[in-house]
Amino acid sequence: MLKVVIPMAASILATGVVAQTEIVGNVDSKCIIISETPGVYGNPNPYQLTTAPTNGGVQPIIRYDVLAADYYKAVIEHPIDFSTSPTLDDVVTWTGDVEVSEMSDTNMADYDTNKVEYDNAHEYEMSVAGSTWFKISSTADYGYTKSFPAGQYTAVVQAECIPL
Amino acid sequence: MKYLFLLLFASGYVSAHELTPTYPELRTSYMNDVLEVKLKMWNARVDVEYYKIEVTDEDWNDVPFITREKTFKLEHFGRRDIEIFLPSDTTATYICTRSLLEKGNAQKSIISSKVCSKIK
């Protein structure tokens, strides 16, 4: 056995066999949408569902990571309908807002001032590289103080990242 | 243990959706009058397994395109190379991937993400 192993080992040492594996990566302009907190509706009144923390709700938080400045705009839409709910036979009145809750760079401080709002959309130009956290609030009022039927209610927040 | 669960629930989870490059390049493909564009997608959203590819012009109108699967499954932490074929006279400007949310999984207010690349 040794007669076989020793020549093989000597042969490997002589040829200097080295295994190499490359790890490839690119640092490029890109936008990453990160869903940090999904959000929960509280039900403080029979006719109301709200993400307000003071009313038992949890506000959804979305983080945008942008690796280069002035490449992207963020468009966030607060909900204006339920994606799942029991059958509703009266009008639901929706209100909501989007605001910057945290930022990795103080130069992002004017994002809320400079945002463009239309319908339920809030559009932010991502003019600074780094991470920005957006907090979304949403409230649904049913009829004229009418009680929501029992069941599960879900609404979707749309978060988009669009190159400029 | 009860408090640990509450903490986990309150802190939520972190999950991400990424599409690169920002400005992909249209190249000639192996077929006549057909252009090709290549993108890469990464799914780190633990709550999403399915994505849809959308190709639109600069006014967000849909334009015709061909790809292997317009709606595809991508596991958590999965990467996918996306090849899109477009006619040579295409007006395509935006290529986007949109997360598809499963109705049965809806427990709370949920987040739909859409990340786009732009053909210049």
So where are chain B's domains? 14-103+110-118
B14-103+110-118: CATH superfamily: Immunoglobulins (2.60.40.10)
Judge whether A45 lies within some domain: yes
- What is the structure's pLDDT at B19? 92
- What is the structure's pLDDT at B12? 44
pLDDT per residue as tens digits for the range B56-74: 999 999 999 999 999 999 9
Q: Chunked in runs of 10, what are the mean pLDDT values of chain A (164 residues)?
A: 55 62 76 89 94 94 93 95 92 96 95 95 96 96 93 92 94
Nearest to B92 by CA among B44, B46, B43, B35: B35
The total of structural domains in chain A comes to: 1
pLDDT per residue as tens digits for the range B20-45: 999 999 999 999 999 999 999 999 88
Q: Does A30 touch chain B (CB under 8 A)?
A: yes
State if pTM tops 0.80: yes
Q: Does B18 touch chain A (CB under 8 A)?
A: yes
Whole-angstrom CA distances from B69 to A14, B44, B51, B52, B74 are: 51, 20, 10, 9, 11
Q: Does A48 touch chain B (CB under 8 A)?
A: no
A36 contacts B14? CB cut-off 8 A: yes
Closest chain B residue to A32, measured at CA? B18
Does B119 score more than 70 pLDDT?
Answer: yes
Q: What CATH number has the domain bearing residue A94?
A: 2.60.40
Q: Is ipTM > 0.90 here?
A: no
Contacts of B114 in chain A (CB under 8 A): 33, 158-161
Judge whether A9 lies within some domain: no
